[in-house]
Amino acid sequence: MKSSHYSSATKGSEFEQTVKISETNVKEHFDVVVIGGGPGGTPAAIDLATSGKKVLLVEKSGKLGGACLFIGCIPSKIIKHSADEYYFGKERQSGATPSPEERDRYWAQIRSNMERILSSRSGAAYNGIQKLKNLTLVGGTARFISNHEVEIASSDGGNMRAEFDYGIIAPGTSSTIPPFKGNATGELLTSETIFSRDSVPESLVIIGGGPIGIELAQMFSRLDVKCTVIEVMDTILNGIVEPEFVSGITERLQRQGIDIFTSSRVSEVSRSHGKFSVAFSGPDGTTRTIISDQVLVSAGKKPNLDELNLGATDIMYTPKGIAVNEYLETSVNGIYATGDVINAPKFAHTATYEAHIVAANIMRGNSTRPDFTKNSWVLFSDPEIASVGYTEAEARRKGIDIVTGVYDYKIDAVTQINGDPFGYLKFVVDRRSSVIIGVHIFVKDAGAIVGEGALIVSRGLTLRDVADAIYPHPTLSEAYGYLAKKMIQEAAAKGAVRSDHPTRDSRTAQSSERETADSVQI
């Protein structure tokens, strides 16, 4: 429903995806107010509106999609795809390196394509919610006045107050810049600003060797940018991926010409004569300086809470985010929080998962809890790294008695056919139950097969369940079956796990008596 206080508007080919507040000091009551039009807010708003709730969705930018669509997941993958095409293009194969001018023209094409895709996707989302007559989208900044009332300063200069029974807070996060010494801290790039540049730098220092930093380093290196990564921990991707994968991706990055400095702390970033200088100390305490055209910081994010005026409420929060219970409800009954502002995995798809849970809890009472042990994610490096469930280290810290197994893709038909026989599939298995609680993949196109791992972990499948499936050949996914059979056979020999553990489906119990063959491929 859209009351007489509002009028819809679009602007040129680019959606100004909001209704306009045509009056000032408007006050209206809603069943639900959702703050944030990204993956942590929009799906919940749609679910609730579809169920008949009167919903107000407030998005500061006025566009649906959030950071993932406009400055994160989607634009970075568009650029990665284009960078790979550039890197493996005909000119490269013939031994010729494109000139900087040609590269900048290609970058302009990438950005044009990116803007087209982003506009199309966001516009489609807007068109979808337009069909929901009881969902109102307002572009503006929401500010709490009390526990169940917000004031909204809209992007068109109007303002309104909204009272509500339920609320969802999903404003996302923004990149942080550490307090480095030097005169250039105000000129540093982040993952939110790098994609809007008109040209590609000749050289780029990236401060931070986490997933975002590594993806950016590899994609810009493939656009002939000299990239250097400086990471304060003793490895890149520290504590995020399996340790054996870290060494492999580090070697690949260095082979591509990316310099990596670990156990290194940046102390100063300055700019002089059009160049940046980055001073950092290494593990031996020696200070080094690198000169580059640009510097990008990927060293953490902070929740977007400053404008919400949470101090006017009884919502418990810290600079690190909003406290929620097991139902994702805040300390104020009926107000929930999702996405990057809570202590949970920071992924767009996880925020969407949370959004659906919160919507269900509003509609049916607090009855659904998230289970983040089945969360999945992909690092879009080359080769890709994908993961779901417990890592080996996490499982051991939890005190779970586990066994692990690894399939080496060097024997795999697909990787051999593709000319890059490299990669690994790793299972983390509960020894007592034979349930697979973690799946970790390091191979080209890992993201295309981790969905199967997500299903395995989320459904609590056992090694026998996976071994008994019939996989098409030749495919990357058949490694699941090979590894499950291999681990069952090894367990039978060592007594490590029950090799005769039943499947989840008792109808296949008789298959637990079958012998298993070793992972021999033809």
Are 125 and 240 in a shared domain? no
Structure tokens at 429: 């298995």
Q: Indicate the SS3 state at residue 438.
A: strand
Decide if pLDDT at 369 tops 90: yes
Domain containing 412 — which CATH number?
3.30.390.30
Question: Is 518 contained in some domain?
Answer: no
Residue 108 lies in a domain: no
Q: Which of 226-240, 278-292, 470-484, 488-502 has the lowest mean pLDDT?
A: 488-502
Give the pLDDT confidence score for residue 91 in this predicted structure: 52
Report how many domains make up the chain: 3
Domain housing 291: 185-299
Q: What is the CATH number of the domain that holds 272?
A: 3.50.50.60
CA distance 216 to 222: 10
Spell out the SS3 assignment of 443-494.
ECCHHHCHHHHHHHHHCCCEHHHHHCCCCCCCCCCHHHHHHHHHHHHHHHHH
**Distance separating alpha carbons of residues 505 and 107, to the nearest angstrom:** 52
- How many whole angstroms separate alpha carbon 423 and alpha carbon 410? 7
- Picking from 15, 312, 1, 28, the residue whose alpha carbon sits closest to that of residue 158 is 28
Which pLDDT value is given to residue 72? 81
395 and 361 together in one domain: no
Which range has the worst mean pLDDT, 60-64, 256-260, 267-271?
60-64
* In-domain check, residue 100: no
pLDDT band at 495 (very low <50, low <70, confident <90, very high): low
Residue 85 lies in a domain: no
3-state DSSP helix/strand/coil % of the chain, to nearest 5: 35, 30, 40
Confidence of residue 92 (pLDDT cuts 50, 70, 90): low
User: What's the average model confidence in pLDDT over 203-226?
Assistant: 96
Non-local (6+) Cβ contacts of 124 within 8 A are none
Selection from 240, 512, 165, 207 nearest residue 391 by Cα: 240
Assess whether 279 and 309 both reside in one domain. no
Instruction: Answer whether 232's CB lies under 8 Å from 254's CB.
Output: no
191 and 256 share one domain: yes
pLDDT average, residue stretch 369-384? 96
Domain membership of residue 508 (yes or no) is yes
**Mean pLDDT of the 366-384 span:** 96
Instruction: Give yes or no: residues 418 and 506 share one domain.
Output: yes
pLDDT of residue 425: 98
pLDDT at site 160: 92
The confidence score (pLDDT) of residue 74 equals: 87
Q: Kindly tell me the sign of the dihedral angle through the C-alpha atoms of 196, 197, 203, 208.
A: negative
Q: Which of 370, 403, 428 is the last residue of a domain?
A: 370
Residue 22: is its pLDDT beyond 90? no
Q: CA geometry: angle at 418 spanning 405 and 427, to 5°?
A: 15
**DSSP codes of every residue in 282-315:** -TTS-EEEEEESEEEE-S-EEES-GGG-GGGS--
pLDDT at site 444 = 96
For residue 483, being part of any structural domain is answered with: yes
* Segment 157-178, tens digit of pLDDT: 788 999 999 999 999 999 999 9
101: confidence class by pLDDT, cuts 50, 70, 90: confident
pLDDT band at 119 (very low <50, low <70, confident <90, very high): confident
How deeply is 17 buried, as exposed, middle or buried, from its count of CB atoms within 10 A (0-12, 13-18, 19+)?
A: buried
457 and 494 inside one domain? yes
Distances (CA, A) of 376 to 279, 329, 348, 491: 36, 23, 11, 27
Strand partners, 379: 385
The last residue of one of the domains, among 274, 299, 324, is 299
Is the preceding peptide bond at 345 cis, omega within 30 degrees of 0? Answer: no
> Do 156 and 41 lie in a common domain?
yes
Say yes or no: 220 and 283 in one domain: yes
- 60-69, 181-190, 345-354: range with lowest mean pLDDT: 60-69
pLDDT, mean of residues 298-315:
96
**Is pLDDT at 506 greater than 50 in this prediction?**
no
What confidence category does residue 220 fall into, taking pLDDT thresholds of 50, 70 and 90? very high
pTM above 0.85, yes or no: yes
What's the whole-number average pLDDT of the chain? 89
The whole-number pLDDT of residue 497 equals: 53
401 in the same domain as 293? no
Does pLDDT of 514 surpass 50? no
How far apart CA 152 and CA 278 sit, in angstroms, is 42
% of the chain with per-residue pLDDT over 70: 89
Asked, for residue 410, whether it belongs to a domain, the answer is yes
The pLDDT score that the predictor gives to residue 122 is 82
Average pLDDT of the residues in 19-28:
64
CA 153/CA 162 separation, integer angstroms: 11
Q: Is residue 408 part of a domain?
A: yes
Helices (H) and strands (E) in the chain, counts: 13, 24
Q: According to the model, what pLDDT value does residue 352 have?
A: 96
